[in-house]
Structure 1
């Protein structure tokens, strides 16, 4: 079957169409896996799974010292300049050694304390130690992902994403049947090994073309440029998982482990459809924005992205809302408390999608202060309102907080982006 002409002529639509197929398959598999988890480990077990996933998300940034977006940006800019690429990867290689060494040592030394913080028990300290051993794979997987995104190799990215997800889902189910909750947690911990293996199998020739592995040195000629991304990544990729972990612990303490699991399951549904956009941002938006300095061109590109993505997301979210009870019955039977959470989570995610498109201007142009300010503002509002509103609306208070912070953050990001272009125009006029 031929791809329609209007899709073939639009790179973003081509990415979106392919991504939709991959995400569709992922959603079906995810639904089956989540149903099994609901039956075998229940909401309390899913809360613990959410804690480990948040830790894994945090480690993706820490182990690579937040170089992912820097790799995406500079690969897009330097893909034809082998000398600059070698400088980039030598710097990244040094960052990986530092990041993995510090992270692995910390996890091994404080495994009991970290287990208590995440799960309110030292029983899972073995899991933290296992994660420490997997740390190098987490770092390498993150950097290789950056290369794929920077090259806008969306077809290979889709293939890697799907194959990796199939393997990890299979491993999760097998370990669930064999070892119950402990097995699932171990499967999540060792998933980065599978991801790196799939990447090397599918993408090794391209990686070897851009990364001269034998020529990597312990020098960092691009350290200063990458450090800006390290700072930005610290704010988004590290503080966000910490906030999520703390909110789950708060729900467990103030309400119950079941309520913490209910919110975890709601965020898991959200992450499954939001992942649809995340790859598009790094594969398309950052490389595209990196070369746009004129406000009219930027505005035209943003409107084009909005016209492509927002109607698709709106339609999908409306369907999710209308069939929310069916979703709960099929995937999370008995967890009827989830139903009121959908409207707030979906409305918040829609606004968040619109704001994320604009916010990637900060990454593309390395506007560190703007990025840090908006991320800290967003997380602070979310964290503060979640604690306050849980006392009034129970677990629904957390998703209400999510919606409010998304509205405020969008307004602030829009203002800062417009201000950036006005300042740039004024500077050009004065010069």
Structure 2
């Protein structure tokens, strides 16, 4: 039997990859329908506005949870056999999430008019931010519960909840966009995830940890300090990437047009759809697995195994998408988006280096390497903005994808240097 096939069959990583396949397939289908409806009804300029709002909600959703979700996954996986410590992990995590989401939601409501002008360039959309401020508590609590499930490796339940989330998002978006056009699309972004928490509670209500004694204990300074490492990493990641996208999108709008910004947003949507298959497995299996590993030899083995499985799958996916790029555009979007075909080469190359980099970046998250993680996240977000500024001025929207590729190639090289003692030491 081919060694690669044999390796695939025996790998826990592939088993989880297959388990998440159902959820990812449904996400792909629902995302496809959503993008298709939006592209047909609101066009490139509407897609650009949605990108602005999605970047903003990504930042505030992470802030609302205190940036501790990856920490919850790690510590639940690490201490699930120690009930006393686990209670501190869950209760402190739950209280941090609840208090911060309520506080930040209140601030969003107070600044709704200003935020509407800043993000959507028009104060008339203030009600979008009021709705988001109200919804933030519910979606933050839902993300906390999902992180606990992930830490426990409750893969099947985790997948079911994600499927429900995707279906609700699809129904919300189609109904609201059909009724209210661009306004409905914006409302769906900030509200549908808040509804899902009630479905999540139905599924987890009988689990041993879902009780007051686990979720509402006393504050623990040591646990708060541990969460602080993850909070700093998550907040930096949540702020740097969306903020850099906001800035690059404004470069495109100011230098060219909101339609060109819509083309760039479209190619990012395409990347997000197919990379979902890989990133879902990273979150569900790879992070908890890395958190469990105690010695460098096993860690190296897990990283190498992940590269051996994912690299050919990723390369094959990218080649197929490039060959079928015209079909992808016509299926996902509309004829208004055909100029996007010129953006595929550099975007796909950037995606390749991005995933190869993330396999190592997840090690920094799992091992609480907060200082180096924060430095690299900030440095490469700034670098992408700088490269984008010059390449957009010289090459237009194509320059944004070229900058993306160059940035992630350099990032991958730096990741190899950081982990050289683990990867290349005999």
**Could you say what the CA RMSD is over the residues aligned between the two structures, in angstroms?**
2.1
- Partner Cα separation in structure 2 for residue 298 and residue 80 of structure 1: 21
Greater shift in the superposed pair: 62-71 or 409-418:
409-418
Greater shift in the superposed pair: 51-60 or 365-374:
51-60
Q: Is the 2:300–2:422 contact (alpha carbons within 8 Å) kept by the matching residues of 1?
A: no
- Give yes or no for the alignment of 1:238 onto 2:239: yes
Alignment of 1:183-198 (within 5 A): 183-198=184-199
Aligned to 1:397: 399
Aligned to 2:66: 65
Total equivalences in the alignment: 419
Alignment of 1:77-116 (within 5 A): 77-116=78-117
- Partner Cα separation in structure 2 for residue 198 and residue 395 of structure 1: 41
* Superposed displacement of residue 406, structure 1: 0.6
Alignment of 1:24-63 (within 5 A): 24-63=25-64
* Superposed displacement of residue 282, structure 1: 2.5
Greater shift in the superposed pair: 29-38 or 388-397:
29-38
Structure 1, unaligned stretches of length 5 or more? 426-431
Alignment of 1:157-176 (within 5 A): 157-176=158-177
Aligned to 1:297: 298
Note the alpha carbon deviations across 1:186-243, whole angstroms, 9 max, x for none: 122111223212322333323xx12432551351341000001111011101221122
- Partner Cα separation in structure 2 for residue 197 and residue 316 of structure 1: 36
- Give yes or no for the alignment of 1:363 onto 2:365: yes
- Partner Cα separation in structure 1 for residue 423 and residue 326 of structure 2: 45
* Superposed displacement of residue 113, structure 1: 1.4
Aligned to 1:213: 212
* Superposed displacement of residue 297, structure 1: 2.7
For 1:205, what is the secondary structure of its paired residue? coil
* Superposed displacement of residue 97, structure 1: 3.5
Note the alpha carbon deviations across 1:118-149, whole angstroms, 9 max, x for none: 11111111100110000101211221121122
- Partner Cα separation in structure 2 for residue 198 and residue 343 of structure 1: 41
For 2:66, what is the secondary structure of its paired residue? coil
Alpha-carbon distance change, 319 to 203 in structure 1, aligned in 2, over 3 angstroms = farther
Greater shift in the superposed pair: 42-51 or 154-163:
154-163
- Partner Cα separation in structure 2 for residue 12 and residue 252 of structure 1: 42
- Give yes or no for the alignment of 1:314 onto 2:311: no
Q: How high is the TM-score relative to the length of structure 2? A: 0.93
* Superposed displacement of residue 357, structure 1: 0.8
- Partner Cα separation in structure 2 for residue 299 and residue 214 of structure 1: 38
Aligned to 2:275: 274
Q: How high is the TM-score relative to the length of structure 1? A: 0.92
- Partner Cα separation in structure 1 for residue 37 and residue 98 of structure 2: 38
Q: Is the 1:94–1:220 contact (alpha carbons within 8 Å) kept by the matching residues of 2?
A: no
* Superposed displacement of residue 84, structure 1: 0.8
Q: Is the 1:85–1:210 contact (alpha carbons within 8 Å) kept by the matching residues of 2?
A: no
Aligned to 1:20: 21
* Superposed displacement of residue 8, structure 1: 6.2
For 1:80, what is the secondary structure of its paired residue? coil
